[in-house]
Amino acid sequence: MKMFTFGLAALLASGTALADTHTTDPVIQDKTGFFVHMDVAKELTSTDITQACGIVPARFTYLDSQGREHVLDYQAQGVWCISDH
């Protein structure tokens, strides 16, 4: 019985050692400013501001040309103000 327990423990340990240890790259949080250089290869998500009024927080998530994910948080002017219609 000891040998079975030892063998099972060794098998589990080797499985853990051989598991894929690839870590995903962290998401890059871009900083806002007057000019932000953005290398956008593919848009992933963006905040829908068509039903918002006034200044609202918005987020743009994209992949750059190297496949890294970026997030840009910014303020945007909503376009659905009742006084504008």
Nearest in space to 73 (alpha carbons), one of 85, 60, 62, 82: 60
pLDDT reported for residue 15:
46
Domains detected in the chain: 24-84 (2.30.140.50)
For 19, half-sphere exposure in the C-beta direction (CA atoms, 13 angstrom radius) is 9
Task: Please tell me the pTM assigned to this model.
Answer: 0.62
* Residue 26: count of CB within 10 angstroms of its CB: 8
Q: Read off the pLDDT of residues 14-67 as tens digits, 9 standing for 90 and up.
A: 444 444 444 467 899 888 777 778 899 999 999 999 999 999 999 999 999 999
